[in-house]
Amino acid sequence: MNIKLASEKTGLTKKAIKYYESVGLINPSKNSENNYRDYTEKDIIKLNLIASLRILDIPISEIKLLIEGNKTIDKVLTDTLKTINDSISNLEKSKLIISSIIEKKNKDFYVVGEEVKKLRETLEYSMEEKREYIYDKLIRVFPGDFGKIIVLQYEPFLNIYIDNDEKEEAWIKLVDILDDLECVDENNPMFVKLANMNKQQLKECSNDIETNIYNILNGGEEEIEKQKKAMIKAIKYLYNNEEWKKSFIENCDMAKEMFELNGREFNEFDKYLQILSEDYKRYNEIMKKINDEVNEEVKKEFGFTREEFLKDLYEKGKINN
């Protein structure tokens, strides 16, 4: 059949048919009588396949490999699906970055350029690079030994693997929050107090934090009961001991400046880290369960919850002082 009939049968333009021939996708014979191309039913099948694959944006180079027998249809489609998924992933990342920048309403094109670069780079970080990024940011905000203790409370939960859109968005938000945190003055009383701790004391404190987190995550109901008893015992001791009350109020005063400076940001940091780390989410759920049960038992005995007692103790202590 001639090119006109081939065009009618395939729905392709004559120009498209000639192009597919020029790149070697079809190779029709020539009629010896009139020197016109003679398209066979096999050529029509090929042209229909080519047209269908081009609708899916499959490259000519891939179609050629298929037709030449160097690639199966399954392999072509699988590779194309991967390319599409990669493109969607990249577009989603770009969308998140653009949305984040729009929210900040920053009109300085230099700052915007740096922001785009930073957010894009951190999204592509490996698990270890993400861990180091968070560690470095927290140490910048909380320098010295106090910063190390702060980081220790998060370190077991910093193996972040981003495998869905929700986590990508949470990571972008978390990076923004870390950038917004204000550095705490090294002369803060809490810093000064910890600076006076010797290496052995700091090591013991670090070990206690690590052990406590591990036990809470892995100890089951037995550990929950142990934590509850320890909390209730501490509340009772604090309730009856004037020296402990005084120390508690002093520590609250020392920490107050830091929480006023970055309290809102840390609440947000906490929220997004729970999305990024299943272990951190589970840890918070266990701690909430422990606190709820402690509050229930403390209220039965004293008529107030743990939080109510600590708040009241601090406020009364400030009035008396």
Structure confidence at residue 313 (pLDDT): 76
- Per-residue pLDDT at 257 exceeds 70: no
Give the pLDDT mean for 66-77: 91
DSSP 8-40: HHH---HHHHHHHHHTTS---EE-TTT--EE--
Give the pLDDT mean for 73-77: 92
Model confidence, pTM? 0.69
Residues 6+ apart with CB under 8 A from 51: 10, 11, 12, 16
CB 219 within 8 A of CB 226: yes
Categorize the per-residue pLDDT at 44 as very low, low, confident or very high, splitting at 50, 70 and 90: very high
What's the mean pLDDT when you consider all of the chain?
84
Right CATH number for 3-71 from 3.40.50.300, 1.10.540.10, 1.10.1660.10, 1.10.10.10? 1.10.1660.10
Categorize the per-residue pLDDT at 199 as very low, low, confident or very high, splitting at 50, 70 and 90: confident
pLDDT digits (tens, 9 = 90+) for 146-179: 778 888 888 889 989 888 889 988 999 999 888 8
- Per-residue pLDDT at 321 exceeds 80: no
Q: CATH 1.10.1660.10 region(s) of the chain? A: 3-71
Categorize the per-residue pLDDT at 261 as very low, low, confident or very high, splitting at 50, 70 and 90: low
Where is mean pLDDT largest: 6-20, 111-125, 298-312?
A: 6-20
Cα separation, 308 vs 279, whole angstroms: 29
